[in-house]
């Protein structure tokens, strides 16, 4: 086993989840993630927990969407909900065989399935300590336009960092954000304002996502006004929506355009009533992630970017929007872009304007 895999498992179990004696920890992954699945299994045992394996095959998902009829798409196995209500922690390992496997599936069917499984995701989000992590596969490397070896180095370089040091720096940003009433984002074809008054800023330093490195909050519902253009494509179900332009009025998307796959964009923002409402505003802070990879787990953490997610907000930030959709879209501010807090410039060309070198 690559010693970096063992180190990553230690971070996931000991730092991200802080597994305690007697806790039930579900480890989910496919057959391609076997090295990390077993490393996590071993580490949970060493921490005194009870590991519960959930191993799947990516091809099963493709078969499901090809063959399942509506009543099967809508079916939720009671055991899945029961388990979500009983486990203490969950490790989700993402290691796709083919990132485009569901490209030709009707997006309405995927959206319908998300609605059916929403009680499980809600139960996990509300009470379970969880972490999502990638394990290198040729498909992920190909998406990132890297060789497998390059991608392995990239992934481990973004994950095996000093998370405590990053947390100290993010705490300074948190203090400023939680005193802020109005945020303004200016950049290429972008001038967007919204309120975050009374909302909590959540530090992400290796807990729920790995790699991590962001700080986020929730825009006040009904406050978002203006327009935004996204330099990076947004990926959903393996399908790429690029050249996205959104116009907001009174907190909702009133106009949505895309240069590629505009139909998918419009279908997803009509998932339900909350899908047109921004549920998250985040700032990427991991300087180890310097390039776009078509994988939101990495891309929303790129140092010098921001992301705004349409749909469900996270309760811990104070957000109240509910939706089956949570779709992050990443905007690059490194070459051209500014963020203002209550009219004061705080972020320019990918960096906070104050000196961040001190801890």
Residue ending a domain, choose from 159, 184, 209: 159
Give me the mean pLDDT over the 20-42 stretch. Answer: 97
Give the domain extent around 204: 163-352
| pLDDT on residue 359 | 45
Give me the mean pLDDT over the 76-90 stretch. Answer: 94
Give me the mean pLDDT over the 122-128 stretch. Answer: 90
| pLDDT on residue 103 | 79
Inter-residue contact 107 to 239 (CB < 8 Å): yes
| CA nearest to 229, candidates 319, 337, 312 | 337
* 3-class SS of residue 232: coil
- Total of domains in the chain: 2
Inter-residue contact 228 to 190 (CB < 8 Å): yes
My answer on whether 208 and 257 are in the same domain is yes
Of the two residues 291 and 259, the one the predictor is more confident about is: 259
Residue 309's Cβ-side half-sphere holds a number of Cα atoms within 13 Å equal to 25
| pLDDT on residue 1 | 67
| pLDDT on residue 354 | 74
My answer on whether 198 and 343 are in the same domain is yes
What residues form DSSP beta bridges with 56? 30
Give me the mean pLDDT over the 3-20 stretch. Answer: 96
Q: Looking at residue 79, which CATH number applies to its domain?
A: 3.40.1830.10
207: region left, alpha or beta (phi > 0 left; psi from -120 to 50 alpha): alpha
Q: What is the pLDDT of residues 46-55, one digit of tens each?
A: 999 999 999 9
Inter-residue contact 306 to 328 (CB < 8 Å): no
290 belongs to a structural domain: yes
357 belongs to a structural domain: no
Q: How many CB atoms lie within 10 A of CB 22?
A: 9
Inter-residue contact 185 to 337 (CB < 8 Å): yes
Inter-residue contact 207 to 263 (CB < 8 Å): no
């Amino acid at each position: 086993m690559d010693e970096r895999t063992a180190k990553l498992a230690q971070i996931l179990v000991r730092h991200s989840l802080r597994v305690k004696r007697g806790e039930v920890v579900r480890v989910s992954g496919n057959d391609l993630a076997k090295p990390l699945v077993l490393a996590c299994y071993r580490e949970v045992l060493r921490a005194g927990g009870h590991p519960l394996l959930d191993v799947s095959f990516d091809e099963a998902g493709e078969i499901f969407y090809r063959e399942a009829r509506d009543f099967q798409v809508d079916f939720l196995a009671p055991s899945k909900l029961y388990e979500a209500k009983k486990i203490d922690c969950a490790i989700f390992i993402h290691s796709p065989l083919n990132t485009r496997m569901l490209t030709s599936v009707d997006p309405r069917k995927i959206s319908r399935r998300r609605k059916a499984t929403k009680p499980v995701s809600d139960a996990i989000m509300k009470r379970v300590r969880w972490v999502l992590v990638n394990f290198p596969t040729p498909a992920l490397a190909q998406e990132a336009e890297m060789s497998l070896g390059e991608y392995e180095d990239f992934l481990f370089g973004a994950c095996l960092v000093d998370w405590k040091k990053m947390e100290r720096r993010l705490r300074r940003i948190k203090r400023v954000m939680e005193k802020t009433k109005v945020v303004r984002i200016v950049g290429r074809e972008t001038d967007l304002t919204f309120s975050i008054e009374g909302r909590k800023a959540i530090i992400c330093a290796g807990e729920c996502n790995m790699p991590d490195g962001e700080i986020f909050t929730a825009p006040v519902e009904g406050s978002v006004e203006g327009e935004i253009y996204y330099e990076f494509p947004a990926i959903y179900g393996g399908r790429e929506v690029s050249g996205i332009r959104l116009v907001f009025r009174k907190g909702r998307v009133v106009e949505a355009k895309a240069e590629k796959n505009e139909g998918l964009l419009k279908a997803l923002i009509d998932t339900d009533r909350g899908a047109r409402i921004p549920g998250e505003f985040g700032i990427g802070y991991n300087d180890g992630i310097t390039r776009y990879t078509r994988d939101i787990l990495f891309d929303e953490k790129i140092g010098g970017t921001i992301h705004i997610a349409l749909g469900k907000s996270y309760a811990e930030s104070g957000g109240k929007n509910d939706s089956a959709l949570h779709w992050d879209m990443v905007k690059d501010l490194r070459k051209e872009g500014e963020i203002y807090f209550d009219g004061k410039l705080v972020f320019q060309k990918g960096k906070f304007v104050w000196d961040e070198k001190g801890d």
